[in-house]
Each structure stands twice: as C-alpha cells, then as structure tokens.
Structure 1
Amino acid sequence: MNQSMTPYHHGDLRNCAIIAAAEIIESIGSYDITIAQVAKRVGVSAPALYRHFTDKDALLTAVRELTHLGIMDYITRAQADIEQGTLAHLDALGSAYLRYATDKKAFFGLMWEDHGDTESRRAEARAKRTGFQVLHEAIELYLKRHKPESAGDSLKTATLMWSTAHGIATLQHNRMLDTFDEDADADTLLRTATRAILRSKD
C-alpha cells in the first residue's frame, strides 16, 4: 500500500485510524508504529486518536481484528474449488496458513504477539469463527469419511495439526526454518506432518 493519506470522514475516525494503522504496518513490514504516525496519515492530531484508543496497544488490538479477517480470506479462497473431506482440502488449508505468514509477515507477527491481553484474546477466539474452527470442521469431516473410529478425536487432531502448522509458519516467519536443513520447504514439511498425523489414526 502507498503512503498517501487515508481519507477521514467525520464521525468515522476510529475506523479510519484502524485502516491507516494497517496500511502503515503493511507498507513498512512491521507493527512498530506510533499513534503520531497514524494520526498524521489520517490528518488529525494525536490527541484526537487518544479519544478512541487509550494507547498504541489498544490500536494494535483493533488492527488485529483485521488480521483474522485477512487469514479467513486466504482460507476461503484456498478451499473454494476443493472437495471438502479430502486430504487435498487439508493440504489447501495448511498452505493458506503458510502463505499468509509469508505474504503478511507483520500481520502474522501481530496476530500472535502477546500484548498483555491473552485471556481476552482467547475468549474472542472461542466466540467467533476463526481459521482453527475451519480446520477443526475439515478434520472432523475427513475422519468421519475415512477413519470413522477416530472421529471422536477430531479436536485433538486439529490442535496437533494447527500447532504443527503454526510452528512451521513461525520458523519460516523468523527465517529459521532452513537453519539445519538448507532444503527445508514449509509446504513439504507440513504435508509430510499432516500425513504422519493422519496415519497415527489407523
């Protein structure tokens, strides 16, 4: 995104500030931003933003909501033309997660960074549809179709797959994935791990 000013419409300052902050984060590739930067982009004074956000962390918390929408968009597009309940569907979901971590590095970091609000974030995640819920539903359907005797373990299986995908994505995000194996490829690793996890259900 470019550095042009984000148009501010009277009465909509909060939303304009959130969008402006997201634009700055994407343009600089970091969420190390200031209220003053956002205010300048919107075209208002910093004190005006403090009427809507108590501090920078409060603003970043609001921006983080956009990151969840962003990753859901990646997931929706990835699974659009793939039959659900298949291994290809699980692969597509995993690839979408890895791709988001690569394409949106700053947002991926912001999504998981601890800003002292872990409990509220956990509650929010449970209350709305997230990428994990999509993964859980996909695994539940896969197990019902192919390994019905293990369908009752769908939540544990989803947690294991999500943890694995997140670990790979985080190592990739931090440019550490190929530290020991120069040929390490995130997608290949995740597909291999997915198959190993599913085989354990035999």
Structure 2
Amino acid sequence: MSDSRTSKIDRKTAETDISISVNVDGSGKSEIDTGVAFFDHMLILFSKHGLFDLQVKVIGDIEVDYHHTVEDTGIVLGQAFREALGSKKGITRYGSSLLPMDETLAQVAIDLSGRPFVVFIAPERVDTIGQAFHFQLVEEFVRGFANALMANVHVEIRYGKDAHHMAEAIFKGIARALDQATRIDPRVTGVPSTKNVL
C-alpha cells in the first residue's frame, strides 16, 4: 500500500470526549477504553475481524446512561474511516457478510456510496445485555457510524435468541463487510462509480 489509509479524529461535546485512531490496512490490533465493558468487547471484535488497527478512548456521561457514549463513538468512528479512505479511489465499494454466532445468524451489507442510509431489522423485544447495555444501543451505534461514514448499511438478524450473540454477530458482520468494501481492487480505475465520485 503506497498511501497510508489512516486517520485520527478528536471530538469533544458536553456529553462525550472521544479520540479515535484507525488504520484501514491494519492487522486487527486494538486499544479500546470506552468506560463500557461490553462496548469495549464489541469494538475489539470489530477491529479483530475487520483487520483494522483501532485506538479508541472515550470519556462519556455513563453515569446518565450509555446512549451518548455508544452513539457518539459510532459517529467519530465513521468520521475516522471516512477520512482514512479519502477519495475512495480503487476501493471495492461493496461488502457483505452472512455471519453465524451460535443460534444467531446476522446478515450485513455495506455500500460506501457517499449516501448515508440504514436499514436495521432485529427482533423488537431483546433482553438487556448484562445489567445496563440495552440492545437498542447497537442500532444507535450503527446509525451514527453509517451516517458519519456516509455509507448505505443494511443489518438484519435473520434469527437469534441471545442478545449478546445478536450484538456480537452484528459487530463482526459489519467488520467483515467493511473489510471487503474498503479493499483495493487493482482492476478499478479511479472510483467505482459512473459519477466519478463517492
């Protein structure tokens, strides 16, 4: 890889203080500290299975709840990937994953189109993970990430029962699909779009 596809984004609001560094062409190394143990676990999986090097440090108002920390981390992570990808010249653009996790099957499809859109299909009533991580937070992360990345992201839990398994399958599925979509294809000249811009 001649050009380094890396970025570092810092974002501070009244609710969160976030610093994220990403290397798209990494090996899956990560240093994650969001203050939310289960969320750390998900981001470590994301890094490992997407082969992205990732450093995440978050100070959030977790004494209120986890919503701002999770959503804002998704936003900053999306911004970091968008900056790292630059003009998107030579990328594959599309990626998908059908990922099993025990009794759960998650399907994820991604288009790095420059047009943010999210479809998130999952059971309506899913147990809280641990004592405080509501499954709804997974969707909030996906929306924040997709909107900041300006990507079209479709997530569907085909079937599943365990909330932890469903969340894990989604994070791993996004990682695998994003790894595909961000790969350089030597056959691609410029960007893979008839508009000549993504």
TM-score w.r.t. the length of structure 1 is 0.28
TM-score w.r.t. the length of structure 2 is 0.28
Q: Which has the higher contact order (CA 8 A, sep 6+)?
A: 2
Task: Give the number of the structure whose alpha-carbon radius of gyration is greater.
Answer: 1
Q: Which has the higher helix share?
A: 1
Q: Which has the higher strand share?
A: 2
